[in-house]
Each structure stands twice: as C-alpha cells, then as structure tokens.
Amino acid sequence: MIRPAVHAAMGRIQTGAPQSEDLGLLLCLVDPDEVALLHATACLVRTAYCQGRIALRALVEISSVCRNSCLYCGLNRYNRHASRYMMDEDEILHCVGEAVGQGYRTVVLQSGEDGRSAESIAHMIAQIKRKYPIAITLSLGERSYEDYQLWKRAGADRYLLRVESTDAELYRTLHTDRTLSSRLECLGNLRTLGYQVGSGIMVGVPGQTVSTIAGDIQFFCSNQFDMIGIGPFIPHAETPLAGSPRGDVLLTLNTIAVIRIATKYPWMPATTALGSLNRDYRLDGLLAGANVIMPNFTPSAYKSQYAIYPNKQSETDSAESLEYLARSVGLTIDYGRCDSLLV
Ligand code: 5AD
C-alpha cells in the first residue's frame, strides 16, 4: 500500500523548488513498496533525462598528503598513523595511460590538500591533454581562484568539491579550521571559470539530521550541479569520529533517489563508499538512480594508503564485471567523455 501522501510528495518534488517536508517524508521511507516506488521513479527520471547510460570515470588518487583536518577523514593531518605518498607526474601519466588504454575517456585526479604547486599541476594537466583525448576532472580541494584559473587554462574540464553540508554550524563542527562560506566561494569560482562542477554530501555524518539533508538537496536544486556524489559516512578509527555509527544504507539510497527526481540531470556516481560496506551496494545505488561508476586506477602500491575510511573498495573493476553490473540494471556502459547533461 502506497500512502497518498507519498504519491503527492513525489509529484511535488519534481517541480524544481521542493519543500523540506516533502523531501523529509521521502528520505525517511522504509516500507518496501514505498521504497521500491521511490527508486523506480528515480530510474524513470534518469531514463527520461540522462538516457540509459552509465558513465565510467577512471579514478586516480594522486596523493594522500593533506594539510586539512576534516573530522571524518582518515587523511586528516592529525592522523599520524596514516601513510603518505605523492605520485609524481610520470607516475600519474603512466596511470592515466593505463585507463586510456582500457578505453576510458575521463580521468578523475583526486588528492588530499597536499600543497602541491599550482604550476606543477598545470604542467601535468597540459601533458595529459597533449597525449590523450580525454576529459580531466580534478578533485584537489579548496584552492585560490588563480589556481583554479590556471588549471582551467591548462585544459582541466571538471572539478569535484563536495559541499559536505550546507548547514553552517554542522560544517564548522566537522571542519574545525574551515568555513562553509569559503567552500561556497570555491564552488562559485569553479562555476565562473567554466568548469563542469560536482558537489555532494556524506549521509549519516554525526550531527546531520534528515532536515539538514533536505536543506542540502534544496541547495543542489537551486545551484544546478553537473555532478552530485552521495555516499554513506564510514567511521575511521584514527579520527575523532571513530566511535560514531556508519551512515544508514537505505537513507543513502533514498537520498540518491530523491536528488535524481528533484534535480534530474546530474551525473551521480554509485560511490566507492557504497561499494565499501558489508557488501557492494553500488548496484543498489544504480537502482536508486545513480549513473556513474568510478573504477579505481590508483597504482596498487598506493591504494591502501589512500584510506579516507576503512576497507575502501579499491579493486579495478574489470570490463566484464562492469558490463554485468550495467546489464543487471538495464543500462549500457558508456566509455565516452560523458559531459554535463545540463542545458
Ligand atoms: N566516510 C565516507 N566518506 C568520506 N569522505 C571523507 N571521509 C569519509 C568517511 N569517513 C568523503 C568526503 C570527501 C570525499 C572525497 O570522500 O565527502 O569529499
């Protein structure tokens, strides 16, 4: 039995400016029929606005060094047990070459806020672009307008910077030496510079409530991101949040579905965090409206050192397993660049 209120809320959140109460009601669904309807609706919206494709992005984690101290993250600078590495340009080019050799046309270069010089990153971007016909997505944290501009001019196409929370108070408690306003300024700068911009949140981080998530979703609706990444919070033993419970899987999946229905166009990964729990929930992520998979191309010697949370899924998915995943949800794998679908 689907409650009439659920039908009504699902209709209303498609209008572009969803109400917090409607979002909250849908995020909290647990009845199997209602959940199935929510997720199926998200898949219909995905078919209508994004075609039946799963975009593949090759993820290369280029450095585990970080000067920041986010309370949830295993790479925070106070974790003295974390092992730190920084790949050099040759290693990165080699890795990107592997992904291109396997047919990938997008790489995501991610790292902690390692203080690497803007010029060396620009040089690396230019080298990759000279050699390979691919889109480059950066995920290197907060930097100045000038750095972002330099990298855009060198050929970077996209940037991922999760907002983490749009609640200023919660943001402050999670990032003792950062503010929401500087995060928003970075996101604005990236947009101004012409990047395709991705954002997102973790679900279940301590202090977050359903109404905070609803507020984040309203932010995603009014800002029209090209990409939105949503994953469960997973506590890391060497952080101040070690004893906190992990994010709820169903709430994470409902969040993906509600964002898909409300924002329609963004590329949304079935995140690595969803694949790193007691089983691989990335399939469930796709069934809730996600449409991106990011196989890990970090060299195996470094993979285990990039421990933002424990037991991080880091196998490079084989072409066969990706095809299987796509087939089982009725989608096809797209190895192309898969640029923004926003008009
Ligand atoms: N659990 C889940 N996700 C995490 N991230 C960082 N630490 C954790 C954790 N403990 C996410 C953040 C960041 C992204 C790269 O990884 O949202 O933006």
Q: How far apart are CA 89 and CA 99, in angstroms?
A: 16
pLDDT tens digits, 196-232: 999 999 999 999 999 999 999 999 999 999 999 999 9
Ligand 1 binding pocket (C-beta < 6 A) is: 72-73, 162, 164, 202, 231, 233-234, 236, 273, 308-309
Q: What distance in angstroms lies between residue 72's CA and the mean position of ligand 1's atoms?
A: 7
pTM of full prediction above 0.85: yes
**CATH 3.20.20.70 correct for 20-328:** yes
pLDDT tens digits, 148-164: 999 999 999 999 999 99
pLDDT tens digits, 65-114: 999 999 999 999 999 999 999 999 999 999 999 999 999 999 999 999 99
Residue 56's closest CA among 341, 327, 326?
A: 326
pLDDT tens digits, 208-218: 999 999 999 99
Q: How far apart are CA 310 and CA 237, in angstroms?
A: 8
Look at residue 90 and give its three-state secondary structure: helix
Looking at residue 315, its pLDDT comes to: 82
- What is the 8-class DSSP label of residue 202? E
Question: Confidence class of residue 124 from pLDDT cuts 50, 70 and 90?
Answer: very high
Residue nearest to atom 11 of ligand 1 (CA): 202
| CB within 8 Å of 258: residues ≥ 6 apart | 13, 23, 26, 27, 38, 42, 217
Q: Where are the domains of the chain?
A: 20-328
Widest Cα–Cα separation across the chain: 59
| CB within 8 Å of 4: residues ≥ 6 apart | none
Residue nearest to atom 6 of ligand 1 (CA): 73
Looking at residue 317, its pLDDT comes to: 87
